[in-house]
Structure 1
Amino acid sequence: MSERSERTTDPAEPPARGERTDCATEAFIAHRNLLFTVAYEMLGSATDAEDVLQETWLRWMKVDMARMSDQRAYLVRITTRQSLNRLRTMKRRKEAYVGPWLPEPLLTTPDVAEDVELAESVSMALMLVLETLSPTERAVFVLREVFDVGYDEIAAAVGKSPAAVRQIAHRARHHVEARRPREAVSPGEARAVLASFQRALETRDLQGLLDVLAPEVVVISDGGGVKQAAPRPIIGADKVARFIVGGLGKAQVALTGDPTVVNGSPALLVRVDGEIDGVIAIRVEDARITGLYYVRNPKKLTHLEAETPLTLR
């Protein structure tokens, strides 16, 4: 859909530039949290999402507000297009990335954890599944399945026909459903499992770790070539437990974990000798941890000092 189709057939006289700027600013601010959430779910990077919002703002300021019929839809469209452009450049960056790549963790507000749909959509587990989609598939899935955007509007945002978007949405949905967690657990259940993991971690209790880890658990650590991390995912409770305890034993450091909420789910902010070392997000199924995601890359820890508001609306 072109910008012209967003215009009314009999637009009012355009306001003075100062009034138009104020109107554009108010609209952008009103939808900013939504736009950031869209960009973050498409990119998995808060830093890149903020850049996309800046690019969206610059383009939004050139729009004729007097002829705009749906400000929210048009802003989402601009954000989607800019995110798609950035996804393609990020692909090249990820190909040159040292070791496994994990999404940039966000310290989230309490209301995110209370919104089951939103919390799942930004969880580390699902964000990693989205990484396996093509840029267009990811955009279509996020807009349709997470934000419930109509097929016609998605088609305008990604430059495809509505029929093609329906096919892409079906394919992406099938792909994600085959890989996403089998069932969502309550924040309370996740906190209880995390507390058991924290005790075992801080006391270097091998058996305690084995008790809380699922047999098929996978640990992925992201050091970005700056901090030490496993060069590839480690699979299996015994291997994961020994990797954790063995690594701590060699380091001979004082390690503590501070419970926090990252990406809408309980997580641990890990400190080594009092200094922040990284954040551990978990995936829980059947009261055991099936996924451990340890982000150590310092460049990805900049959004853990202040809460980031997210929204689906």
Structure 2
Amino acid sequence: MTGKALVTGASGFLGRALVPALLASGETVIAAGRKTNPFAPHPRLIWRQIDLIDPKAPLPEILCGIDVIYHLSWSTIPAEASLAPSEDARENIVGSLRLIESIAPGAALRFVFASSGGAIYGPLQQARAKEDHPLNPISAYGVSKRTVEAYLDLFAATNTIRPVSLRIGNLFGPGQNPERLFGAVTQFSKAALSGAPIVLFGDGSTVRDYVYIDDAVDALMRAARVGDSSFALNIGSGEGRSLNDIIAILEQYLQRPVKVDRRPARAFDAPFSVLDPSRATREIGWSTRVPFAEGIARTLKSLAERA
């Protein structure tokens, strides 16, 4: 795999895992983000510190010669987006649109968008959500992800870009920032290791489809290599894990009970979200490889080493 890729949001959790994988595969990478460069020098890596909503950001110049865009840039998490929906829309919807609009007419590039496998569907009407499940997000975060997907579909009909929105489940694994209060596995693991109480919203029965970081990177790269696919693909394990399940696995590995601080459930948390990944398996040959319990063990080990 050789070519030239742009990775937006490259300083985030997913970007910091994707960029080294692309370089290892032979890609030339332009990594863009709002923070300082987190990567070691590499002859095929160019860092661009930009903000997509900045009208002075030289997006047409950056996009020159690009074969694939991995659009990972997103400034909010569900809790933050619901507190300030207008700011969420300005930074994420408008920022994404400025990127899409900067693509030169006729540029036949692949556009891989990191969408949301949970927030975009809202409460499920079936045991596992397929891509044709109604999109009824109950959070501003989900509405913004759905909106960017819709714009990509629109531009695909009027331009030559080939978009795919990967509806990724709940990401976790080594490298996720435990200070951002996002990601139950990482948050719970950090608290359990330190002896602090795990903050649990609701009764612990909330179910999510968890995806290990390496598996998500594999999905992104496979989606780019295929070149053409359905406009949306679920990236999930197809198995639901409750918050109580995470606590039980942590207690098993740590061989001791963990403290739990129980708080009221949050309105923007759908009670059950599990994805059907069969389309991704058929179209890009993807499926999860890292078992959930093993992913938690790797996460615990990484956090313990950083402590």
Work out which of the two has the higher radius of gyration on C-alpha atoms and give 1 or 2. Answer: 1
TM-score band, normalised by the shorter chain? Answer: under 0.3
Looking at both structures, which has the greater relative contact order when contacts are Cα pairs under 8 Å and sequence separation is at least 6? 1
Normalised by the length of structure 1, the TM-score is 0.25
